[in-house]
Amino acid sequence: MVPGDAGVLRRVTPDGEVAWATRVTGASRGMHGTPAIANGAVYVGAYDGALYAFDLETGERFWRRQLGDAIGSSPAYDR
């Protein structure tokens, strides 16, 4: 998984090919932390103050939760 300051999250294969890419936020805001992966989902926080969940295989967005101020760190998963 490759997040970016341009607001695009990419899944890259071991060969370096982009499997999928999805715009997470507007171009003026992006992501900095490393995404967390659990149970077939990718979780990433963004500078727009929201936490996002995406399907690991397709990149389809499952949900978005507004949490407040900018998120510049990596999310953690706890079973």
Which one-letter DSSP state was computed for residue 33?
A: S
Tens digit of each residue's pLDDT (9 = 90 or more) over 3-45: 888 889 999 999 999 999 998 876 567 888 899 999 999 999 9
Give the integer Cα–Cα distance in Å for 75 and 64: 14
Domains and CATH numbers, the chain: 8-66 (2.40.10.480)
pTM (two decimals): 0.89
Q: Locate tokens 């294969």: which residue?
A: 13
Q: Is the pLDDT of residue 63 over 80?
A: yes
What pLDDT score was predicted for residue 28?
62
Q: Is the pLDDT of residue 65 over 60?
A: yes
